[in-house]
Amino acid sequence: MGKNFHDHLHMSINVSTREPVSLFGADRGLQALRHGAEWLAFRSGVLTSNVLEGAAFADSLGNGRPDVQVHFLPILDSWDDVPGEPLPAIHGMSLKVGYLQPKARGQVQLRSRNPADPVKLQANYLGHPDDIAGSIRAVKFGLRFLETTSLKPLIKDLLMPQPAWVNDEAQMEEFVRNFCKTVYHPVGSCRMGQNTENSVTDLQLRVHGFERLRVVDCSVMPQVTSGNTNAPTIMLAEKAVDLILGE
């Protein structure tokens, strides 16, 4: 119980734009009033956006399956950055890039007998060298993506990672280590399986050694999906309903 914890990480590639084409300033002054009025009147416009306006999957190793995910934001992403010098208040855009198949495993443990106490989480992010290499490949893919004929004319400056780091593997590793952030896809701490030595539930999601107790969320996944966990978790819940009704 609590072992096999892992999660997706991503890094933000931030660039400024030559023209005022981003969402910078859309939440202030007359622009904010206009966007609010459009949503109230027509239920359309900027306020219907989740800000993640585009997404892509890439196979960085040529293995026939995606191992990199990209999200596009029409604004500079600094909401959950590490402490330090903030990004400039200018028009820009961001690519969130991440490695989809982490190998490092962490652990979730109880802190005490008091259920109200916060748990102890040892995430062990980037604890496997393949995870560092995969994250660097994700960043490099994002940088190449920004060089495409559709995007390059829009870009003024690369803000993060700093241009001097791009061709230096050690600097790129430092960038990944210092600026990686969770994608909030934690899985695995109650993994399913037939072996009671290394799993918490069986293949019907029943907790080993207990009756009438199931775990129905993404913690039962032995390996995180190569993408977002929302839809697979909904599928797990629907499957659990079928299993329970069939008993």
Q: Are residues 146 and 168 in the same domain?
A: yes
> Is position 136 within any domain?
yes
Q: Are residues 41 and 158 in the same domain?
A: yes
Q: Are 58 and 38 in contact (CB under 8 A)?
A: no
Mean predicted confidence (pLDDT) in 61-73? 94
185 catalytic, yes or no? yes
> Is position 153 within any domain?
yes
For residue 87, name the pLDDT band (cuts at 50, 70, 90): confident
Structural domain span for residue 90: 7-182
Specify the pLDDT at position 49.
87
CATH of the domain at 11: 3.30.560.10
Stronger pLDDT, 95 or 78, i.e. the higher one: 95
Average per-residue pLDDT in the chain? 93
Active-site residue, from 6, 10, 185, 208: 185
pLDDT of 109 > 80? The answer is yes
Q: The pTM is what? A: 0.89
Distance (Å, whole) CA 190 – CA 236:
14
Q: Are residues 44 and 144 in the same domain?
A: yes
Q: Tell me which of 167, 182, 197 is where a domain ends.
A: 182
User: Per the structure, how many domains does the chain have?
Assistant: 2
Specify the pLDDT at position 84.
65
pLDDT of 235 > 70? The answer is yes
Mean predicted confidence (pLDDT) in 26-51? 92
Distance (Å, whole) CA 94 – CA 72:
6
> Is position 132 within any domain?
yes
> Is position 1 within any domain?
no
For residue 81, name the pLDDT band (cuts at 50, 70, 90): low
> Is position 2 within any domain?
no
Mean predicted confidence (pLDDT) in 61-71? 94
pLDDT of 88 > 70? The answer is yes
Q: Are residues 74 and 101 in the same domain?
A: yes
Q: Are residues 246 and 137 in the same domain?
A: no
Q: Tell me which of 152, 182, 212 is where a domain ends.
A: 182
| Nearest alpha-carbon partner for 134 in 80, 77, 81, 66 | 66
For residue 190, name the pLDDT band (cuts at 50, 70, 90): very high
For residue 50, name the pLDDT band (cuts at 50, 70, 90): confident
Sequential DSSP letters for the chain: --EEEB--EEEEEEEEESSS-SSTTTTSHHHHHHHHHHHHHHS-SGGG--S--EEEEE-SS-SSS--EEEEEESS---TTPPSSSPPPSSSEEEEEEEES-----EEEE-SSS-TTSPPEEE--TT-SHHHHHHHHHHHHHHHHHTTSTTTGGGEEEEEES-GGGTT-HHHHHHHHHHH-EE-S--B-TT-B-S-TTT-SB-TTSBBTT-SS-B--SGGG-SS--SS-SHHHHHHHHHHHHHHHHT-
Q: Are residues 108 and 20 in the same domain?
A: yes
Mean predicted confidence (pLDDT) in 167-188? 95
Q: Are residues 236 and 137 in the same domain?
A: no
| 110-168 pLDDT per residue, tens | 999 998 999 999 999 999 999 999 999 999 999 999 999 999 999 999 999 999 999 99
Q: Are residues 52 and 119 in the same domain?
A: yes
Q: Are residues 153 and 169 in the same domain?
A: yes
> Is position 36 within any domain?
yes
Mean predicted confidence (pLDDT) in 177-203? 94
Mean predicted confidence (pLDDT) in 1-28? 93
pLDDT of 80 > 70? The answer is no
Q: Are residues 43 and 134 in the same domain?
A: yes
Specify the pLDDT at position 41.
96
CB-based burial, 195-216: b 16+ in 10 Å, e otherwise: eeeebbbbeebbbbeeeeeebb
pLDDT of 246 > 90? The answer is no
